[in-house]
Amino acid sequence: ERRGRPLWFPERNVPQATICSEAGPAPWGSNDVPFLHEAGQAIAPPTVTAHFDAEAQNDAFALEHDINEYYERSSIFIRYIETSRLRCIARMVRAGGADRILEVGCGGGHILRLFPDSNLTGVDVSWRMLDKARENLRGYRVQLLKGDVSGLELSDGSFDKIICSEVLEHVADPH
């Protein structure tokens, strides 16, 4: 990082954003990283209230963006990236038929679907996403739980593999 500017932030033709910090740090993490909109102009992140409702945010996101449409009808480039990401996850997890797999932030169940022979548990804060997961995982041995994983009664050692992918941008405090 160079004097308050992340290394990836463009040096040329983009002014430094004014940061709104009156309400405290942004729920997604650093309060000093400017965001860019489509025109390439730097804008400040929105002022954040003290309360972040992860369920409402994620349900609203699910309403606006159908996760199945994303996986099935995005551009060829996006589908290639997602297919590669899913293959990479499957290789890293190396699940066996008897494995008990937990996915934190399971969304529509697209990752859990990679492990049809395993005992699956998916956790998400969004009822809408869990409904998609239920639809996508019909016929699988799966238990879907609603809530923040830190507030659920999950026993230590009850899972052989735990997956958490594409979640940090959806939580109130990723620390």
* CB neighbour list of residue 121: distance below 8 Å, 6 or more residues apart: 100, 101, 102, 103, 142, 143, 144, 145, 159
List, for residues 4-47, the tens digit of each pLDDT value: 433 333 333 333 333 333 333 444 344 444 444 445 555 554 44
CA of 79: how far to CAs of 68, 83, 91, 122, in Å?
A: 12, 6, 18, 23
Percent of the chain with pLDDT over 90: 46
- Higher model confidence: residue 15 or residue 165? 165
* DSSP state for residue 45 in the 8-state scheme: P
* CB neighbour list of residue 99: distance below 8 Å, 6 or more residues apart: 115, 118, 119, 160, 161
pTM of the model: 0.67
